[in-house]
């Protein structure tokens, strides 16, 4: 049976005239009312068609949830700040919820979230999920419910927006070479994480194709501050030390430099270092720290555009990977 404006009015409790004004793009109606009417129209499969080269849905404030693992540190605060700024510019109301510790609990929570019909879409940042988790998520949740992921996996199951880590590693090596450093090393991230592998591969590939540059030292880190401290201990006890290092994230790089300075190393005269993420600490530290800049607001803008695209075309929930460019921020540490 064809869904009518009367059906939406009965479902929401608003008058037919209010429903009509909202679906015709009126900006005189409150965002709460607009959101409720669009959610009802979407749930009842009312055809929301194009008009004047814009969609009705694009005129309304979208209500999106980001589900993630809340952790302490500059990385998460920078990520959430960038997503929030982008959401405001994209007419999206962004709510955040914390994922439980286990995948089974997380899946149950996400099922309840979808069944409540409050949110029009979901942004997922769950770096602890593996591909089989995303596949189970894809198979369990309704196929027409819009989901975008911000966590990198190879051959993604869901639409995924993340930074170009391979290019970041490549550019880090190129920057060190341009500064005159030939013998280099890397503080690796945990190899079970795709982003750590991509950064390593980019860094190593540039060195491999550059005739007079060598990768002579590696340290198996895990992105933590503690592993950066331990990396310095290993570096300090190495006879043939590299002249410059790439820390696969700023957390390890910051820890390494703190330990180096406390052992009377001069930066960059004794050892140079470039990090990854360009966290605020890079600008506050003495000396300031060179880093691969990841623009979280740009990541957020691409993510918001992708979630709106999937909302307007729910059948297009395909595992397409969109990479956001990164840049080099050269500072005193190199």
Q: How far apart are the first and last CA of the chain?
A: 68
DSSP secondary structure string for all residues of 141-155: S-TTS-EEE-S--SS
Q: How confident is the model at residue 27 (pLDDT cuts 50, 70, 90)?
A: low
Cα 253 from Cα 247, distance rounded (Å): 5
What pLDDT shows up at residue 298? 96
What pLDDT shows up at residue 316? 59
Query: In this structure, are residues 221 and 228 in contact, taking their beta carbons and an 8 Å threshold?
Result: yes
Mean of pLDDT values over 122-128 = 91
- Among 238, 235, 269, CA closest to 252: 235
What pLDDT shows up at residue 50? 44
Domain 5-59 adopts which CATH fold?
434 Repressor (Amino-terminal Domain) (1.10.260)
Cα 229 from Cα 209, distance rounded (Å): 30
For the stretch 65-104, pLDDT in tens is: 999 987 777 888 888 889 999 998 888 888 889 999 899 9
What pLDDT shows up at residue 54? 46
Distances (CA, A) of 215 to 9, 173, 179, 209, 304: 67, 10, 16, 11, 39
Query: In this structure, are residues 160 and 153 in contact, taking their beta carbons and an 8 Å threshold?
Result: yes
Residues 6+ apart with CB under 8 A from 142: 114
pTM of the model: 0.80
What pLDDT shows up at residue 26? 67
In the chain, what percentage of residues exceed pLDDT 70? 93
Cα 249 from Cα 100, distance rounded (Å): 25
Q: Supply the Cα-derived Rg of the chain in whole angstroms.
A: 24
Q: Which two tokens stand for residue 38?
A: 């669009």
Q: Where are the domains of the chain?
A: 5-59, 62-163+296-324, 165-293
Query: In this structure, are residues 274 and 291 in contact, taking their beta carbons and an 8 Å threshold?
Result: yes
Question: Matching CATH topology for 62-163+296-324 and 165-293?
Answer: yes
48-55 LR contacts (CB < 8 Å, sep 24+): 48/23, 51/24, 51/25, 54/25, 55/312
Query: In this structure, are residues 148 and 304 in contact, taking their beta carbons and an 8 Å threshold?
Result: no
Cα 328 from Cα 290, distance rounded (Å): 8
Asked if the model's pLDDT at residue 227 lies above 80, the reply is: yes
Q: How confident is the model at residue 42 (pLDDT cuts 50, 70, 90)?
A: confident
Residues 6+ apart with CB under 8 A from 87: 64, 93, 94, 300, 304
For the stretch 171-195, pLDDT in tens is: 999 999 999 999 999 999 999 999 9
What pLDDT shows up at residue 315? 63
Torsion sign, CA atoms 200, 166, 155, 77: positive
Q: Tell me 235's DSSP state.
A: H
The CATH number corresponding to 165-293 among 3.40.50.300, 3.30.70.1350, 1.10.10.60, 3.40.50.2300 equals: 3.40.50.2300
Mean of pLDDT values over 203-208 = 98
Asked if the model's pLDDT at residue 52 lies above 50, the reply is: no
For the stretch 161-171, pLDDT in tens is: 999 999 999 99
**pLDDT mean across residues, the chain:** 89
62-163+296-324: which CATH architecture? Answer: 3-Layer(aba) Sandwich (3.40)
For the stretch 275-326, pLDDT in tens is: 999 999 999 999 999 999 999 999 999 999 999 888 877 665 678 899 999 9
Asked if the model's pLDDT at residue 123 lies above 90, the reply is: yes
């Amino acid at each position: 049976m064809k869904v009518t404006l009367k059906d939406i009015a009965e479902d929401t409790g608003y008058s037919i005239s209010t429903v009509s004004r909202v679906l015709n793009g009126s900006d005189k109606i409150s965002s709460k009312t607009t959101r409720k009417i669009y959610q009802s129209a979407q749930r009842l499969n009312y055809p929301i068609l194009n008009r004047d080269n814009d969609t009705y849905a694009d005129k309304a404030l979208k209500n999106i949830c980001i589900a993630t693992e809340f952790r302490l540190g500059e990385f998460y605060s920078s990520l959430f700040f960038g997503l929030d700024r982008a959401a405001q510019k994209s007419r999206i109301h962004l709510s955040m919820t914390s994922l439980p510790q286990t995948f089974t609990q997380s899946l149950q929570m996400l099922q309840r979230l979808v069944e409540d019909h409050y949110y029009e879409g979901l942004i997922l940042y769950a770096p602890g999920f593996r591909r089989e988790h995303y596949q189970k998520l894809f198979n369990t949740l309704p196929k027409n419910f819009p989901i975008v992921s911000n966590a990198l996996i190879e051959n993604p199951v869901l639409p995924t927006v993340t930074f170009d880590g391979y290019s970041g590693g490549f550019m880090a090596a190129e920057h060190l070479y341009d500064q005159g450093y030939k013998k280099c090393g890397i503080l690796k991230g945990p190899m079970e994480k795709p982003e750590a592998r991509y950064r390593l591969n980019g860094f190593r590939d540039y060195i491999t194709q550059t005739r007079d540059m060598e990768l002579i030292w590696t340290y198996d880190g895990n992105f933590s501050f503690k592993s950066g401290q331990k990396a310095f201990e290993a570096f300090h006890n190495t006879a043939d030390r590299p002249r410059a290092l790439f820390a696969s994230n700023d957390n390890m790089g910051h820890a390494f430099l703190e330990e180096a300075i406390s052992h009377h190393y001069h930066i960059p005269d004794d050892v140079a270092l470039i990090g990854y993420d360009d966290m605020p600490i890079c600008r506050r530290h003495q000396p300031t720290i060179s880093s691969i800049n990841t623009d979280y607001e740009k990541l957020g803008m691409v993510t918001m555009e992708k979630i709106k695209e999937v909302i307007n075309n729910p059948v297009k929930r395909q595992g397409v990977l969109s990479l956001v460019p990164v840049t080099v921020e050269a500072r005193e540490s190199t």
